[in-house]
Structure formats: structure tokens, C-alpha cells
Structure 1
């Protein structure tokens, strides 16, 4: 079984990072080992540079594709391996563990599945093999200035003129906007629809589409190696053949895939929490104050004990949900619980771990500084904590 472990000189010491997950097999373990070796060579030495440049080069994604790490779930007739969600999980975990290139997981496990599920045969044959190889990277464009979580209120309009849609509007906070060559853009094809969500459709927009422009590369608090941009549409001409699925169904397509997206966000937050606690435990054992390691102070021990307990409980809950998700169940309420609780837990943990590092935690040379910045947005994207609580309350019958 796949497990995470740390060495211990005490045979009876509880191993916080060891987890036996029945849904992961030897084949998943083999992928993890291969991916870890790849990232150690192709990502870890360059992370600092990519953070400074606010960009992960396209070549990194192409190398991932060349090694067979991207889109493992895509069926063989479209160039993939037809593997189960456990392989997507391994990809997400290891990318979050090193803290770079996480958009490879987003593209493979969140965006490309829209094409697999709702695309027609021509669209699948045109794009899926290139997504698997890394030649095409994807981005989803939903958010607009001023609308936040109220997706149905978007104003980007796509008006049909014969065999094209004429698209006008603006998107913001779009991850992978620089690297992406294929954009899944949520638009209003019927601005007068009632309710408004019935007027939303999704268009596949190629990066070289006339009238489509990338705007500013946005400056962010964290996740610096992941580029985030604005997108601008000025009479952009998108072929009617690039409509994903049916007109007016875009909102429902997006909602259908949110369970997997939020599960993966919770998974990413869990990995970051594990890494923060692991590095902090090592630090407090090595750092001395007043003649003894700070791990011997009662306050340090209580802080670590509390975080370890929260982490273990969250691990158990998330592993159970992941197994159920892989079996095809619908667990929107529980996944909403996991998304808000685990991302908030990780954000709070970043503060506590930074505090235990003292002044050194504020220095960029220590990884806790970057983790502190990077985790801050996780309770926001993919559905805010407040939205998650609304879903839970509604499904509890309130």
C-alpha cells in the first residue's frame, strides 16, 4: 500500500504521516516514485527561479506530458492510458508537495474532464491527444470583475452570427492564462434567459482566436510560480463548432464537475498542511533556545499535538471521501465540508507553524514563508468557505 513515512529512532513513536489507503495500489506507487524522481530533477532546482519570474515555463508541462504524467484518465483512443482517479490524485499530491506546476494537475484532472464528458467526437480527437502530450495546456475562464461567486451574473456575451459566435467581455483571476493554448470560456449565449443560469454556455477558445487577447499578468500574494491573468474579448470570432455540449447548459456542466475540483483542492491543502507540519517538527527539534531544543517546551508540544490531531482527523475523512468518489458516488455535502474545513485548517496551520519558526519563519530561505503565502487563497478559489457552508446548510434542510 502507498504510505508516507518518516524515520524514527523510537519504535513506538506514532507515525503521523503514514496512511494506508486501500484505493491506491502498487501501480499508483510506481507512478509516485517515477514522478518524484522527475520532479526532483526537473522542478525542485528551478522553483526559486520560477517564483521570482512569476511563471512556470511551458517546457515543464511538455516534459510532464512526454513522460506520460498528464491526463492519465484519458482513454487510449485519444492518446491516454485510461487509468483511474487514483493516478490523478498521485499527480496532484506530488506537485503540491514540491509546490510548483500544480496547474498540470488542474488541467489534467479538472479542466480536461469537461472535454471528455461533454465534448463531441471531433473536439475530442482534435484536442485530447495534445492535452495528453503537453502540447496543449488548458485554462478555464469563469470569473469576471465584480461577480465573484455569482457565476450566473456574468456579462461576457457570445452572440451567434451564422457559423461563428462573436464574443465580447472580460475575465479575471484566470490561472495558467499565459501558458494555456485552449481556454474553456463561460459565456452568455442568451443574455435574456430566466433564470440567468440557463443562458450560460461554454466555448472552446484557441489562444490564436482573432479578437482574443491576454491582459495584465496579475500580481498576487502567493502562488507566484503560477501565472494569473486577465482575458479580453473584443469581437472575438469563435467557430460554432467550438461550442462545448449544448447551448444554455454551461452552468450545469460546471456544477457537475465541481465535486472533483473541490476534492482536489482539499487534497492540495492537505498535502501542504502535511509538509508544513513535517518541516516545523524538524525545525523545533533542531532549534535551541535557553540551552535546549524548543521542541521540549510545553507550548511547542501542545501546538504540535493539536495540529497533528487535526491533520490526522482530516486525513481520515478525506481518504474516505476519495474512495467513495472513485466508486462513483455523489457526496456534494461531505466534499463541501472537506473543502472548507481542510483549506481553513491549512491556512490556520500556516500561521501556527510560522510562529513556531520565530523570526526565521519570516525569511524567504525557509519554506514555511512560501507555504504561508501559497495556502492563503485556498479557502477562496473553487468556491469560498462561505459558499461551502451555504451548500452544507441547504443540504441539511435549513
Structure 2
């Protein structure tokens, strides 16, 4: 069921219609096949790039669409309602472009940004490590100054699009302490950079998540983003936006599960009535709809604050927390609505439930979101 959206301009309405058309034509027909076979959908991101869907919130001067963040997130939700793995990868690509856009020099932007935003280069975000996830200040991957650049050694983990991306926004240690992290834009074909086998994940099977290994890999000085020691500032400046991206993905996933549950409830009959007409099940569907609508309102509120230049860090954490918890509950309830059929892989709600779980974990676990929210309250 198409969500009726309140959009700010005619241009934004056309963008959402374009997104729906591309998603229905390109993503919907192949999602089940690729998720079941765990194969990467080659060519999909080039198609999204050609349609302008990888650069929606970025400035027009660099080839972006210059749209408000609230429009970008609704576009992401539309993609997620068809294919969550692709929506997550689009969100991560935007996250990966942020360091260069916000902290790069004009020369660096001119050299790389147009291709990154045009879809010719797909990006990945490389912050986490095997022993440093939520505690980003504990990074141990090292970048040692060398003639003309840096020599990087160490391991990174949980990289969406790992081994496939054309560039990696890498955060590595150049000094001691929390102010000793530096950001680099690393080419995917850098000698000395290798990747582990894709993780055997519960969901999001079509897009690989891997570890990365740097074995004395040389990165030129012109690929350092910002100054030495600015890495955590750069990383954290992108995470609020990234959390909103995951919130939108979670809402799209929950909306898809709700739609399938409602459709099934209209078709299935028991005791002489459609099951949607039984109050017990009707009320369950009503709670699911309320959860989806509430989660959408939360991420839109945070996005509008961002667009207005207001502080939105707490609202981003609230949106991520509410939306991903809602996605987990709504997808679980959708399985319940379908009963035994919902527990089989013949119906998508089984996949939706598996995919919803990761939204509560990445871009900061929901326990971390509660920590962020509580700290803002304590600060006041």
C-alpha cells in the first residue's frame, strides 16, 4: 500500500514517485531470488545512481539533488519497503560520502565527490573493529606517517559492501587517546588491503558484510580527510544522520510487514469471517499500524530539525530507538498474523523479522541510544 506522504515541494513529490517506480521495476522483481541465494545484485546500484537516488540530500553543485533530509529519508523508506539490504547499503553510501563533503578540501571534493554522488563509485564506512564497536575511541588500526602519506596496518570489522565498494571512509589511529584518530578516503583496490569472507548473517543476505585487513597499505597524504586527530569528530558528525537513515529503513521494513499482514488478513477466513474482522486480530493490526505511524513521525521530526539547522542529536537517537524497536515488534506480529505460514520462507514476513533485528544493533545499539538520550537529560 502506497503511503500518502506530506512532501514540501512538487519536485520532492516527483522524486518519491520516481523512487517508487524504480523500486517496483528494478528491486521488487529480484529481491526474493537474491536474498534466498545470497547473491549480490550486480548493476542495481548503477541503476539507482543513474536515477539520481544516491545523491538526494547532497548539494547540487556537486551533482546532488539538493533535497531536504526529510525527503531523502522518505525515499530511503520507500526502497526499504521493497528491499531492506539495498536501503541499508544506500544509507551507508551516504554516510561514507559525508566525511569528504563536510571536512574535505575543495580540491578533494572536486577530485572525488561528483563520481561518488553520481553512483560511479560506491562507498563503505569503516569505523568498527573486532574489539571496538560502540567504543569507537578504542580503535587500534594504525596509520603511521611515511614519505608522501601513511602506512596502515590493522583490522576493521562489520563493513557493509566490504570487498565490493570502490572507496572506504576509514578511521585509523595516528596518535594516542581519543584525539588520536584520523579519517582517510581509501580506494578499494589499494595494495595491502584485503577482505575476509562475508559474514554468515541472519538477514540482509544480498549485500555482503565483511572484515578488512590492512597489511602495511600505503595511503597518500591527499587522501587524509580533515587534519590529524580529527577522526572521531568526523565520525560522530555523520552518525546522527546515519541513525536517521536506519530509522527510515526500519520504518520501511515495518510498513512492508504491516502491508503483507493486512493483505493476508483480508484473504484468510475462519469461522465464516475474514480474520481481519475478528476483533482480537484487528486490534493487533491496529497496534502495528500505530507503531509504524509513530516511528515515521519520529524520524520526520528529527529530520526537519536537521533541515532547520537545529540540534537533533537526541531526536535522532529517539527516532532510531523507537523505529527499530517498532520494526522488531511489527515484523514479529506479522509472522503471528500469518500463523504457521508466517514461519515458512514461502512468505516474506519471515525474512522481514530476521532483517528487523539488525536495525536494533548497527549505527549504535539501542542501548547506546538510551545512553545518548539519558546523557542529554543529565546535561540539562
TM-score (norm 2): 0.94
Determine which of 102, 116, 125 is the counterpart of 2:87. Answer: 102
1:58 positional shift: 4.0
Residues 189, 78 of structure 1: CA spacing in aligned structure 2 closer, same or farther, 3 A cutoff?
same
> 1-side partners of 2:75 and 2:255: how far apart?
16
SS in 2 for 1:396: helix
1:87 positional shift: 4.2
1:228 to 2:213 alignment: no
1:107 positional shift: 4.3
SS in 2 for 1:183: strand
Match of 2:49 in 1: 65
- The count of residues paired between Structure 1 and Structure 2 equals 378
SS in 1 for 2:225: coil
Determine which of 142, 148, 151 is the counterpart of 2:127. Answer: 142
Q: Contact 1:88–1:108 (CA<8 Å) still a contact in 2?
A: no
1:52 positional shift: 3.2
Match of 2:77 in 1: 93
Q: Contact 1:31–1:90 (CA<8 Å) still a contact in 2?
A: no
1:253 positional shift: 1.0
Task: Output aligned runs, 1:146-225, within 5 Å.
Answer: 146-190=131-175, 193=176, 196-225=177-206
1:153 positional shift: 0.6
1:292 to 2:270 alignment: no
What's the RMSD between the two structures over aligned residues? Answer: 1.9
Q: Contact 1:91–1:105 (CA<8 Å) still a contact in 2?
A: no
SS in 2 for 1:232: strand
Q: Contact 1:184–1:202 (CA<8 Å) still a contact in 2?
A: yes
1:150 positional shift: 0.8
> 2-side partners of 1:76 and 1:324: how far apart?
21
Determine which of 233, 238, 241 is the counterpart of 1:252. Answer: 233
Gaps of 5+ in 2: none
> 1-side partners of 2:338 and 2:356: how far apart?
17
Task: Output aligned runs, 1:304-383, within 5 Å.
Answer: 304-383=285-364
> 1-side partners of 2:315 and 2:324: how far apart?
14
> 1-side partners of 2:16 and 2:179: how far apart?
42
> 2-side partners of 1:181 and 1:103: how far apart?
17
> 1-side partners of 2:118 and 2:4: how far apart?
33
Match of 1:40 in 2: 24
Q: Contact 1:103–1:176 (CA<8 Å) still a contact in 2?
A: no
Q: Contact 1:61–1:104 (CA<8 Å) still a contact in 2?
A: no
> 1-side partners of 2:67 and 2:325: how far apart?
31
Task: Output aligned runs, 1:2-41, within 5 Å.
Answer: 17-19=3-5, 21=6, 24-41=8-25
Determine which of 240, 246, 249 is the counterpart of 1:265. Answer: 246
SS in 1 for 2:236: helix
SS in 2 for 1:139: strand
> 2-side partners of 1:313 and 1:81: how far apart?
28
Residues 72, 338 of structure 1: CA spacing in aligned structure 2 closer, same or farther, 3 A cutoff?
closer
1:258 positional shift: 1.7
Q: Following superposition, which runs of at least 4 residues in structure 1 exceed 4 angstroms of deviation?
A: none
**Cα-to-partner distance string for 1:9-31 (whole Å, 9 max, x where unaligned):** xxxxxxxx545x3x532211111
> 2-side partners of 1:176 and 1:67: how far apart?
20
**Cα-to-partner distance string for 1:316-355 (whole Å, 9 max, x where unaligned):** 3333222222112112122211211220121022111101
SS in 1 for 2:311: coil
More relative contact order in 1 or in 2 (CA 8 Å, sep 6+)? 2
